[in-house]
Every structure is written in structure tokens, then in C-alpha cells.
Structure 1
Amino acid sequence: MKQILSLFLFFCFAWLSGQTKVGGIVMDEAGEPVAFANVIFKNSTEGTITNDNGRFYMESDDVHDLLLVSFIGFESREIVLENRVTYDMTIILSEAAEQLNEVVLISGKQSKKNNPAVEILKKIWAKKRQNGVRQFNQYAFDKYEKVEFDLNTIDSSLIKSKVFRGLEFVFQDLDTSRITGKTYLPIFLNETFSKVKGDNVLKQEKEEILGNKNSGFDNNQAIIAFVKDLYQRYDIYDNYLKFFSKSFTSPLSRTGVDTYNYALRDSSYIDNKWCYNIVYYPRRKNELTFKGDFWVNDSTWAVKNINLQVTKSANINWVKDIYIEQDFDVVNDSVFLLKRDYMLSDFSFQKKESSRGVYGKRTTVYDNYEFDRELPRDFYRKSKNVVDPNAMVTDDVFWDKYRLEDLNKDEQGIYTLLDTLKTVPKFKSYYNVVSILGSGYVEIDKWNMDIGTIYDVFGFNDAEGPRLRLGARTYFGQNDPWRLEGYGAYGFADKKIKHGISGKVLIDRESRFIASAGHRRDVEQLGVSLTATNDVLGRSIASSALLTVGINNRLTNINLSALSLEIEPLTNLRLSVGSTFRTLSSALPNEFSLDYIDAESPSGISSEIRQFDINTVVIYTPGKQSVGYGVERREVNDRYSTLLLNLTKGTNGFLDSDFNYTKIQFSYTRPWQLGAFGRLRTTVEVGKTFGEVPLGLLSVVPGNQTFFSNYGTFPNLDFYEFVTDTYSAVHLEHNFNGRLFSRIPVLRKLNLREIIGLRGVWGELSDANIALSAPSAVNTPLRAPSERIYYEYSLGIGNIFRVFRVDFNFRGNYLDNPNARAFGVTGTFGFSF
């Protein structure tokens, strides 16, 4: 959600040039648009295909006088180009009196058999692992990358609007995109130069960033993270290409013949290599597919260049268009290497042609390839996420040397434009509003402090009634080596003040050795996660939920102090050792009890738990990518697995601690990209407690009495309905991304997404622990799902109005439990692609 909100900043403010520019619409004699018609500059290899609405735009660095438009069943037309720039063309195609006698692109469903394009595709499949850097044991190359954001569809009404009153100077120079034909204004630029080394034998790769330069917004974490997300690499030879958490079927995929229509258009020499030109377009609407064409060599079957454009009907939000071009160099008779990769994304609220939006453009240039230089295995084991502060290079001498593609004068002007804009009060106001929505914090630069988050201000629970919370943190920059954070809260029913404070410092940046400490006194809803870590300032359902299902009176007063040391010896492997001391008691003792048998108490029963623990945590997140090198880093992808091992040792006697026990917990969460079938998320959790402990220290199966869908919980369970000292749980959730609904004509246009879920848990509770907590069983039954696995399943509909999701949850068994909820509805909302 924060990544999407960061785009809104660019909506508040939209220069490439060519020798020949054309654009318009192709229609038939009845006035209907002709989709996937072929538009090429005659006697050239430069062409495009009309989109779903019959529109096209094309630009060439060369001068062309004739435009050829063709489509099966229609007479081909040659259009004389009298001017170098010709927009808003309306081209009418007449029905053919006889079959076309020229080689033209064809449309409609193409045969999978006896199709020369498909035969060529099979040869590409056979050779794809032998092309590019894949055919060498080791490889290295230089990489220059620039990412640019532009406000597009600039017109007089926008320039004269009240929003830009006082900012008219930013529109002094505008140009037109060679892809879409829209006017645009560059407003952000990021440049990166790096050296990449890889080993195909070890299946390892490391990228060393030597220089990085931003134009404005340097310290805005949300924007920087979004820019980083555009850096994700892809390989056109893979079966699926991943953009914005979606898997698009590649036109070079082995399953492509079931997804695309292919047609052989032309053949020609390119760089002294004979190549075939193949056009492709989707067989069905509303799927994550492309349209475009590619040129492939006739001997190596390596792609020489390719362009891909996402179809308008693709089930993706906030992105009106994605366009990709890749060019490959012929190094010798058998080696084709990626030379240039260009990607344009058109972000917009709507997919209408006239709607305004923001371009995100990424250009990557590769050079200086080297092969078969073996490096030791330890070279790749060193951290890949740390960015050296010295890499933030702004020196012109550095960029003159390493910039593999020169900036044009307009791109150079972005730096000056942003420096000027940041001095304009109106722009600063727009920037602040969007920054608050994206991060949740109100920035106070003169104090080097952020106030927030704004999403935690209001809450309600049965113990506190209405609740207010106000927090703050230090913030000098995104790479702060230390940070202090705290909050204060007040409950209007119990009339008590709560608070929390936490501090952390990065002692060694290379190993990410961090020391942290904190204290918290608050009302908590314990048992919302089986393998929760000791986060001093984390949000709680008790403090943030406004509405709940049924009576939620099982709340706990917690007084927690924590101290820990953390280190990252290998990339994405975190080890921490710490200690906690906590005091637990019921926040509503007349309705919920944490009482336990205590022979040393005068009454034989104690209502408060005092506990000192030593915690050892190992977290491994292979594939995680982060921004920054400070004490806090921002994650920019969600496609990584998480393995967590938590060992807790409780010690009695020290600081009057009550119990001696050992708890071992393990969880493994993994997202699975299943190509066109969507995305599956799985979690496995197991744990066991050795020793006798009371209810407050047992493992509670996480229920959910809110109306919000919360992965990892059981929405039809009440809090504390099941309690265990030994457990194993599984959570499965699959999002089909609209694959099923896209085949139903009535639902197809709604772009809904179907979601299914299945979750189960088994656990047991020893007789000794039941006996120890017998006094609390008066109003909290001590029950574990030991007779059989407790399970639930759910059916969900997502992307309702592009922001809402609703889940219908069904309870599979244990329906005879008191107040058991057999059915429930939960939901959530947010911005997602």
C-alpha cells in the first residue's frame, strides 16, 4: 500500500525526440477499431501493433515517408507521411475483395500445428539455456541503470489548474513519448552504476554498486523503495516474467502456444545475421499477457531484439501500460548478449486513453562483458545488501567515466528542476501530504523527528474503552546509525496512561551488529501469533481494533523490558540473543483470569506472573532485498521465504522470576509464484514447551475476533479458545489473480480475483499444565485440539473496486465448543497491483 501511495506524489506535478513520429487509430469501414493490426514503416524492420482499442504510436530515429498498415481480411494501405510528426491519424481499412497476396501480419486465432512461427519457437526453447551468459561457467559485466518518473498527458487545463498555480515554470519544456505519443514532464531521476559478477556453476551472483545518484526525494523511504522495486531483473527466456508481484506469461515460454497466437511476419538481415520476425498476441482477454514481436537468429535461435506490451485487458491495477524493449549484441557467430533493456510503466487511476498518470521508465545498459574468470566461493557469501555510503557519488568526473548512456539535456535538467521545486512552499505542502499517507509519519525536519504513526492514533477495547495513542521517533535520514522511538497512550475507561520506548544502535555496519533495548507498559491481546518475537513497540489488536466479533475480554496487562544483540554474519541470516523481563496480569480480572497454583502464596493462588527469559532467535530470509545501510532498512520485495527458529529459556529465582522452562518454536513461510495460476502462500509452524508453565506462558492458537482478514490466524476461533504446550499448524492461501473469473463473460470486465484458504492446527496440553492453571479455567476453558486437527477453509473475492477484499470463512469441526462460530465474514482493503 505504501508503495502505491508514494506514486501519488508524482500526480501533483508529467524529452525524448525522434526523426519520425506517427500515431492514431485504425478502424474498419463500420467505424469499429481494429485491434492487433500491423503498422510498420515501409522498407524497414520498425513496426508496432495496434492495441485493444485500435490505437498505435510509433517513433523512429530515421526519416520515413511511407507507413504500411495491414490486417488479415482487409486491403493493405500505404500512408504517405508528409510531415515528420503526424498525430491523431484515422486510418480506415477496407475489406479485401480477394485474399491478400503479400506477406502481412495476421490476427485471429492461429493454428498450433503447421505454423512456421511455432516451429521456430520450439527451436528457441531447445537453445534458450545456451544463449547469453548462461553458456559460460563464470561471467562479469558493467551495468548502468537510470530510473525516471514523468508526469504524463500534460495539457493546458492541467497547467492552468489551481493545483499548479505558482508552479507553471515546471511546464516550460515538454516532449512526447516515443511509445505512447503523450506529452510528459520528467520529475525524478535515479542513476546507478555497478559491477556484476556471477558463477553459473555455483548459481551465485553478486552486484557491487559503485555509484548512485538521485534527483530529489533522497530521504523519502517510500519513494526510494518503490524505485528499488523497479530494479527487479527478469529474463525473457523464463516461462514467466514478474512485475509488481504479478507473473506474466513470457511469449518465449514453453506454455506460450496455449496463451498466445504466433505469426511469422518477415525475415531480414540484422547486423549481418539472417533473422525471422515473429508477431504474437494473446488468445484470451483479462489474462496477464503481452503483445508485440521479436527478431530471432536462424542458426543460434537467439533473440536479437524483442518488444513486449501488456494488453489493456490484463488484470492489473493502477498500471495502464507496460512496454519493454530489449536489444542483444552479436559478439561472435554464436554469442548474443543483452546490450540494452528499456521498460516503461504507465501508472494511472484509470485505463482510459485520456487519463493522466505517471511514467516510470527504467533503462539498463550492459557493457564490458568478461567470461570464465573464477572467483572463490567466499566472494559471493559476503553481504550483497550493504551499500557503501561512498557509493552516493555526485561527482561529475565519476559519471562522465561510468555513465554508459549519456543523459539528454532534458534529463540533465531534472536535477535543476527538483532543486528549484523544493524551495517552493506549495510543492513542499503537496510533498508532505503524500509522504504522511505513504509512511504514516509527520516529518518535522527542524527537530529531526517524525510524529506518528497516524494509523495508531485511535483504538478501542473492553478494558480501556476508547483509546488515544501518540508516538514519535528520531529521523535524521534513511541511513541513521541509531534511532529512538516511543509512544504514550491513554484509555478513557480504565483512566490509565500507557507508554513504550525503544532504542537501537548500529555498532558495526559490515556485520550489521545492532544493540537494542526497550520498555513497554500497556494492555495487550496475547496469543495473536504462535511464533511472535519480542517487539517492544509492535502494534496490538487490543490497542488498534475498533470493532470485534463477540465479547473480547481476555486482555492482559503487560510490563515488558527487553535487551538484545543482533548480528548478520551472512546475507539475510540474522542471529540475535537477548533477555526479557515481563510482568503479566489480567486487564479484566472479573472476566478473564491468569491465576495459577502457587504454593508460596498465602492464598495458594497467584494472579501475577513475573518472568525472566533468555531468547535466541535465528531468522533466515533468502532472496530478501533491502534499501539502505542504517540501523533500520526497508524491504522492497515480498517474494522471499522466512525461516524462524526461536529458543526461549525461562529461569526462576533471578529477579524473583517464577518459572523454569524451555520453549522451542520453528516456522517456515514461503510464497510460491505459480505462473499463470497465481500465487500460493504457505506457512508451517511447530513448537513445544518443556516444563510446567501457567496459562500466560502457554502457546495460544491465534484466533481472530476482528472483522479484518489476518493471515496466520484462525478467523472462526475466539481468543484463548485453544491453548497448547505442543503444537503444529499449517496455513495455505492461494490467489488465482482472476484466472477463473476471467473465463466467465459476466464477471470478466470486473477484474475480480478469487482466493481460497485452508488452515489447520493440532496441539495438546499436558495434565500438569492443566492442573497448574486450574484456577483460571473458571472462565477460560483449558482445551487443546488434540482429538483431531482443527481446520477451517475460506473462499474470498479480491480486487472489488480495486481496493476491497472479502473472505467467507467456514469452520470445519469442533462445532460443539461453547459459542463456536461456524461461519464468519472478514475483509481488508488496500492498494495493490
Structure 2
Amino acid sequence: MKRKLLFALGAFFIFTIAALAQTKVSGVVYDNANQPLPYVNVYFKGTNEGTITDENGKYYLESKNTYTDLTITFVGFAPKEVHLEKNVNYNMKVTLAEANELKEVVLYSGKTSKKNNPAIDILRKIWERRRKNGLNMFKQYEYDKYEKVEFDLNTVDSAMMKSRLFKGMEFIFDQVDTSNVTGKTYLPIFINEALSKVYGDNVASKKKEKVSANKTSGFDNNQQILAFIKDLYAQYDIYNNYLKFFDKDFVSPLSRTGINVYNYVLADSSYIENKWCYNIVFYPRRKGELTFKGNFWVNDTTFAIKKIAMSASKSANINWVKDIYIEQDFDVLNDSVFLLKRDHMMSDFALNKKETSKGVYGKRTTLFRDYVFDKKKPEEFYAADVNFNDESIYGKSDEFWDENRFESLNKDEKGVYKMLDTLKTVPKFKRMYTLVGTLSSGYYQMDHFDYGPIFSTVGYNVIEGLRLRTGGRTYFGQNDPWRIEGYTAYGFKDNQFKYGISGKWMVDKKNRIILAGGNRRDIEQIGVSLTATNDVLGRSFASSSLFSSGSNNQLTSINFSTFSAEIEPVKNLVLRTSFNYRTLKSADPQLFSLDYWLDPLDHSKGTNGFTKQYEYGFMIDYTPKRRTIGYGVERSDVDYNYARLFLNYSQGIKGIFGSDFDYQKLQFYYRQPVLVGGFGRLFTTFEAGKIFGTVPLGLMGVVPGNQSYFLIENTYNLLDYYEFVTDEYVSVHLEHNFNGRLFSRIPGLRNLNLREIIGIKGIYGNVSQKNIDLNASNLVYRSPEDIYWEYHAGVGNIFKVLRIDAAWRGNYLSMPGASKFTVKASFGFFF
């Protein structure tokens, strides 16, 4: 009996050791001159488990299995095998000797040739077959998907653990582990899991995903964090020419333009799961470009990718992201079809790209299984839900997840759910969380009331002098079906209180039928946008900026009331009707006049400087491919890289509530971001409008000037307020951001990660004689009949947050007081 017990204990001990066995290796690879070698292949001998050294020759490799030898290869150097003395071997120094003799395959080092290169010959075969591989081989498809997203604090060391910042929260460090990609210690702080079914129709070019379960730990009610995570969820196809990560378009190593930015080397060939495959290594031709380094295995007959591993070049022109690592594995179906089985992406977010800098890992792992093909669905099946939110998706039990997730959570992932539930009860953590949430959203949350926006608290203009504002909104969660918002402000020069209040109520969630109304009494700089807005609480930067160039005394006192109803019958298509009433008068008639003649043909009847106007409006707003979060009365955009078409019709009716004028206004706005083949992004904006009828200055179309020191979208940098007035106009803005593509080719600039921007703006407009005759203000109407235009050039990403533009006026140079040149800036946090 004792012998059996001893044998059982011994077997258990051996099994436990085997189960826990791991091999971890890190170090640097050098050449004979003791210089680090980048992009070197490092593999466990006899396996496909490996990695590639970074730009500094460093590598980290980890496996759940036990291995005793490494194989290290690099083009132009003799292969080397290194024996591992133990399971964990850190800081190993390996020196490769240059090859004395090259056999069989031509090897390349440095920049590889585009001619007579077997790797590029294989790449051309991939291009030919990329639309004939995988899911593209079938008319329809469907599959099950499991996705796991996790955020971790990384580079957790003893100094961090002892920091006063974590005093009282030391228990969180019980979850510390080591990354199998970078070898750094990390602490899980967030995890999200989702199960879904994906359907696609290649004939109709349709795709739909139905989420069946979702589970989140930690900050599940923070809109900003959820928006950030949603962007991390962005799907990509390695066969596409460009892969979008964090609003940047990286050139795919499988791109048809890849040979212009990558070096390719045929490094090896081997059987993988009974399939003969070639191994191709790729690395950037130049620093500073949005590229990757890595390798892939490709089948020799179908030229489908079997496995790919790649990481973004550390010199890539992207902010706040130190590393991006991607791994994809494909299964072989019916001996010839390669289907995605596993997709893993890891990002290292940090303030800088130093090796020792602390930051946050963002990791997404997606698993795919149970593929079904050629099962057609009706066309209406793929119609996008306008506003579907099933709360039961988020309430699945732990038992459900244990049975249905595709792979088990490790101990750290299991622990993060409990750890974060405990952490949210710690007062110190709640204070830190509130501070971060306030800075990111601009609102300070107090139970179900948000105070803010705090960044609008202080302002200044000529009429009000110093202006203080306080306000807030109701907030029960991101899916609130109603919301009330209001503010009050006081000017210390005019000694007047102003206020605004608005409310929104979603009466139908499925079609997003929303009723809204409100009233505002305030002082405004009108005419800062060509396209009208009826946002009752909207306030332009021009109305209360602390600093402005030129005179800012042409302000208007407004009393504006509105009621609207909108519906979203189709995803991202909004129809709205509104009823508005406003009164307008000059905030200071001594400085600025809105007067008009009571009878343009008989001036003896005098003037009126007080306009009363009722207006009915109808609007169509279409934003294809817009992505949002939240299902409530207000939603947050994930990003702004979507097209927008906006059509607005409004009609003023004389006599209603004492309204003064009859007229019709028609306005059209179109904005389209365009990816220009790896040379950055072009943003095009087109606006056109016309007023039918006779109206005074307060209701005219004013070409938006910019008298601030900052860049403001859709304004003209060299124009003052009211410099041009129109009742019909056509405006075009073109701005191209090269994202550092040009600077990356200039020595001395490529390491600064600057980004170049160029643009041109132009507008044509006219004023009818009837409107000129009606004008009795001290402003002489002038319209851009000869097409006013200006152009600008700028440098962005200065210190990662600053953009500076120089702008020049193209014509109307002889106008009195005309600004011919200016420099403006803007701040922002962008990847």
C-alpha cells in the first residue's frame, strides 16, 4: 500500500513538473564587430516556435514546452545552435559569424534586390491567389467566434509595488505574471470576453455579426474606455494592402506595394502539419514608416498563408504605442482551404518607446471554429440593426462561460474579475478613477449628475469681459433614454446672466425616435459655420476664447428656442424636423449693428435692429461606416474617419409669433476622408448653399473667419469675422496629412516622427441686390465673387501633441486690413 502511495505521489510530482515546465530565453544577437543584429530568426531547435530580434538585436522567446537548444539564423551569416543549460535563460549574448560560403539559396542582407529574389517571386503568387483563398472560395459562410480583450499594467517591478500610489491596494500585485512575447512582468487590470456568430455573403458583399454573450470586468460603464477598446477591436485582413491600427494605415507585408517598403528574404522551407511551406522573412527598408518586421509561412501550392507573426517597427511614426505584435494561425480544410483559426494582437501603450518605460498592454485574442459554407440567408437578414441592445447578453452565468468559451482562462485572467470587483471598493482607487474620468470626458460625475464641461468654465470677449460658466447634465449611464442639460453664465463687464437648457427623450429605441427641445439666451459670435446648426447649447470657440487676434466686438445677443423630432430608419441615416424661434440684436449697437431698413424703397420709415424669426426645418444626415458606442439618447463616436452627407432645408414664415421674414434656405455639406495609397489621408469638404428670399444681416450666410490663434475646422484662417457675406456660396476645403511619409526619407528628420500637412481652401459667393438694399447696418456687404482662396502647410506631431500651420492668402490682398500671412496651432493627443 505504501509503495502504491509513494508511486502515486511520485507520478503526481513528475506530472506537475511536466505541466509547469516552461522554457524562457532572452538576450541580444551581435555580429563579429559587436554590433547588434536586427531581424534575426531565433527558434527553438526543430520547431516553428520562434521570434525575430528587434531593431536593437534583442529578443524574448517563451514556450510552455521544455527545449534544450536554440537555432539562430540570419541572411549572410552562418546558422548557430545554442545549448540551453536550464529552463530559464535571460540576457544571453550570441555572436553570429559571417557565412564563408553560400549554398543552394541566394541569401540577402541589408536592402534586398527586387529582381531575381525568390521571396518576391513567391509574394507575386500570393497576390495572384489572395482573392481565391480562405472564405473567398465560398459564396456564403458562417462561423463561431470567441474574442478576449485584456489590458495589463506592464513592467511591474518592486519600486512600483512599493509606490505610495498603490498604498492600500497592494493585494492587486498577487496577479502579476510575465508576458510570453516581451518577457516583461504585467498586472491584469481589465478583461472583456465576447461570443458571437458571424455570417457573410461574398456574392452580395454582406457581413453580419450577432453577439450572444459579453462579459466585462472593471470599467464597464466608462464611455471613453469602451470607445478606446472598440477601436482596438478593429478587424483586419492580412491580405489587404493596408492594415488600420489606431487610426494609422500600416502597409501590409502582403501588400502589392510591399516591395517598395519591405525587404523580403526566403529563409527556410519545411513541412507544417503535412503541408510543405516556405518561410519568408520581411523587415522595413526605411525607418519611420508604418511597417512591420516578422515572417510568414506560405503553402507551396495554394500560396495561402499558414502562419504569420509580425511586430510594428519601433521607429514607426505612431505615438503612445511602443509595440504592436500580431500572430495568426490558419487551419487546413479539405487539404486545400486555409481558414483563420487564431488571431492574437498585443499592443504596448507607453509615453515613450524606451525599453524600460512603463505602460499598458492591450491584448486581443480571437478564436474561430465550426465553419459552415454556402448556406444562403435572405437579403434582409444582413440589414444592420439601428439600435439593438439585448441586456441579457451581459448577464450570462459563470457556468455558461465555463461551458462555452473556446479556451479556458489562465489563473491571472480568472483572478482579474475578482481583483477588480474588490479594487472598486477601495476609496483611494475610486478617487483616482474619478480624476481620470473627469479629465477624459470633461465632466465630474456626482451620483446621477455630471458637472461640466469643466473646460468651458472660463472665457473672455469684448462685450462680456471675463465670463464664468457653470452647468451640468443628468447621467445614469451610457444608455440613458433621456437627458437634461443646462448651464448659466455671467459676464463681469456687461453684468448680465445668460443661460441655456435642453432636454432629449428617446421615445422609440429600435428606430431611435428622439424628441428634443430647449432654450438659450446668450451672447454669440454668429457666422462661424457655413452649415447651420440648431444645437441649443452649442457655443463657438470664437464667442469666448481667452485670446483672439483682431477685433472681436461683432457679437450678437440671441434668444433661441427649438423643438425637434428625429428618426433613424436605416443605420447611420438620420431624418430630423425642427421648429425654431429666435430673436437677434447686437450685443453692443455702438460697436456693431444688425439694422435693416423697414422699407428698402423708402428709408424715411426708419430701421430696425431687432429681428424676430420663426423657422421650420428638415434635415437629412447620412454617415456611412460611422461606428458608435452606447444605445441611449446620446452616443459616442469611436473615430471620425467616416464620410458625412448633410442636407438641410429651412423655411422662415413671416407673421408666426411676430416673425419678420419669408425665405427658404438650402444647404449641403459633404466630407470624405480618402486613403491615398500609403501616402497618408486626404480630407475633402464640400459645402454649398443658397437663400431664396430677402433677409437681414442676422440671417445671412457669413463666410466663417478665424480670429483665434488656433486651427478651427471649416473656417478660413486669413479671414476676419464678417469679412465676406453671401446669400449663395460654394466652398471646397482640401487637406492632406502625409503621416510622416515624406519626412521619413530625410536624414535628421526621420527620427523626430514629424508629420507633414498641406491644404487649400476656396469659396465662391454672391449677394443679391435685394439683400444689399435691405442692409442698414454699419457693415458693407462684400462677397467672394472672384473665388477667395488660401493655402496652408503645417508640421504635426511636434512633441507628440502640437501642430503648427503657416497659412497664406491667395487673393483679395488689397482689401483694407487684409491678413496676408498667419501662423496657427492646435493641440491634441493622436496616435
Which interval holds the TM-score relative to the shorter structure? over 0.9
- Answer yes or no: is 1:54 the counterpart of 2:52: no
Q: In the TM superposition, what are the counterparts of 1:143-162 in structure 2 within 5 Å?
A: 143-162=145-164
Contact 1:583 1:609 in 2 (8 A): yes
- Give the TM-score taking structure 1 as reference length: 0.95
1:12 equivalent in structure 2: none
1:8 equivalent in structure 2: none
- Answer yes or no: is 1:688 the counterpart of 2:687: no
Q: In the TM superposition, what are the counterparts of 1:435-450 in structure 2 within 5 Å?
A: 435-445=437-447, 448-450=448-450
Contact 2:70 2:84 in 1 (8 A): yes
1:800 equivalent in structure 2: 798
Offset of residue 18 of structure 1: 7.2
2:481 equivalent in structure 1: 481
Contact 1:207 1:384 in 2 (8 A): no
Q: In the TM superposition, what are the counterparts of 1:712-723 in structure 2 within 5 Å?
A: 712-723=714-725
Q: Deviations over 1:426-458 (max 9, x none)?
A: 11111111111100111112xx11101111011
Offset of residue 425 of structure 1: 1.2
Q: In the TM superposition, what are the counterparts of 1:240-259 in structure 2 within 5 Å?
A: 240-259=242-261
1:509 equivalent in structure 2: 509
- Answer yes or no: is 1:292 the counterpart of 2:294: yes
2:469 equivalent in structure 1: 469
SS across alignment from 1:229? helix
Counterpart residue identity of residue 752, structure 1: L
- Answer yes or no: is 1:642 the counterpart of 2:641: no
Contact 1:530 1:701 in 2 (8 A): yes
Distance in 2 of aligned mates of 1:431 and 1:601: 65
- Answer yes or no: is 1:34 the counterpart of 2:34: no
Offset of residue 409 of structure 1: 2.0
Structure 1 residues 385 and 318, CA gap change in structure 2 (3 angstroms): farther
Tell me whether 601-610 or 136-145 shows the greater mean CA deviation.
601-610
Distance in 2 of aligned mates of 1:610 and 1:18: 81
Counterpart residue identity of residue 141, structure 1: Y
1:132 equivalent in structure 2: 134
Offset of residue 463 of structure 1: 1.1
SS across alignment from 1:676? coil
Contact 2:346 2:361 in 1 (8 A): yes
Structure 1 residues 725 and 341, CA gap change in structure 2 (3 angstroms): same
Q: Deviations over 1:646-691 (max 9, x none)?
A: 0001111010011111101011101112242011111111111111
1:830 equivalent in structure 2: 828
- Answer yes or no: is 1:90 the counterpart of 2:93: yes
Contact 1:518 1:563 in 2 (8 A): yes
RMSD over aligned CA atoms reads 1.7
Could you tell me which runs of 5 or more consecutive residues in structure 1 were left unpaired when the two chains were aligned. Answer: 1-15
Contact 2:344 2:364 in 1 (8 A): yes
Distance in 2 of aligned mates of 1:332 and 1:510: 43
Tell me whether 107-116 or 375-384 shows the greater mean CA deviation.
375-384
Contact 1:17 1:175 in 2 (8 A): no
1:198 equivalent in structure 2: 200
Offset of residue 105 of structure 1: 7.3
Distance in 1 of aligned mates of 2:655 and 2:260: 68
Tell me whether 116-125 or 31-40 shows the greater mean CA deviation.
31-40
Offset of residue 767 of structure 1: 0.3
Offset of residue 173 of structure 1: 3.1
Q: In the TM superposition, what are the counterparts of 1:741-752 in structure 2 within 5 Å?
A: 741-752=743-754
Offset of residue 722 of structure 1: 0.7
Counterpart residue identity of residue 228, structure 1: K
Structure 1 residues 746 and 548, CA gap change in structure 2 (3 angstroms): same
Offset of residue 601 of structure 1: 11
SS across alignment from 2:678? helix
Distance in 2 of aligned mates of 1:384 and 1:342: 30
Q: In the TM superposition, what are the counterparts of 1:290-439 in structure 2 within 5 Å?
A: 290-383=292-385, 386-439=388-441
Counterpart residue identity of residue 781, structure 1: V
Contact 2:737 2:756 in 1 (8 A): yes
- Answer yes or no: is 1:619 the counterpart of 2:636: no
2:571 equivalent in structure 1: 571
Offset of residue 394 of structure 1: 3.5
Contact 2:29 2:36 in 1 (8 A): yes
Offset of residue 293 of structure 1: 0.5
Contact 1:71 1:104 in 2 (8 A): no
Offset of residue 535 of structure 1: 0.4
Distance in 1 of aligned mates of 2:603 and 2:635: 47
- Residue among 614, 631, 636 paired with 2:633: 631
Aligned length: 811
- Residue among 710, 713, 729 paired with 1:711: 713
Contact 2:348 2:360 in 1 (8 A): yes
Contact 2:26 2:60 in 1 (8 A): yes
1:816 equivalent in structure 2: 814
Over the matched positions of the two proteins, sequence identity in percent amounts to 58
Contact 2:77 2:97 in 1 (8 A): yes
1:231 equivalent in structure 2: 233
Distance in 1 of aligned mates of 2:640 and 2:115: 40
Return the structure number with greater relative CO, CA threshold 8 A, min gap 6: 1
Q: Deviations over 1:125-174 (max 9, x none)?
A: 00001112122222212221111000000111111111112221111232
Distance in 2 of aligned mates of 1:676 and 1:92: 37
Offset of residue 381 of structure 1: 2.3
- Answer yes or no: is 1:168 the counterpart of 2:166: no
Offset of residue 64 of structure 1: 1.4
Distance in 2 of aligned mates of 1:262 and 1:232: 27
Q: Deviations over 1:22-55 (max 9, x none)?
A: 1111123443211112211111122221100111
Offset of residue 387 of structure 1: 2.9
Q: Deviations over 1:282-309 (max 9, x none)?
A: 1111100000001111111110111110
Contact 2:386 2:572 in 1 (8 A): no
Contact 1:105 1:279 in 2 (8 A): no
- Answer yes or no: is 1:540 the counterpart of 2:520: no
Structure 1 residues 341 and 785, CA gap change in structure 2 (3 angstroms): same
Distance in 1 of aligned mates of 2:483 and 2:92: 58
SS across alignment from 2:89? strand
Offset of residue 386 of structure 1: 3.0
1:185 equivalent in structure 2: 187
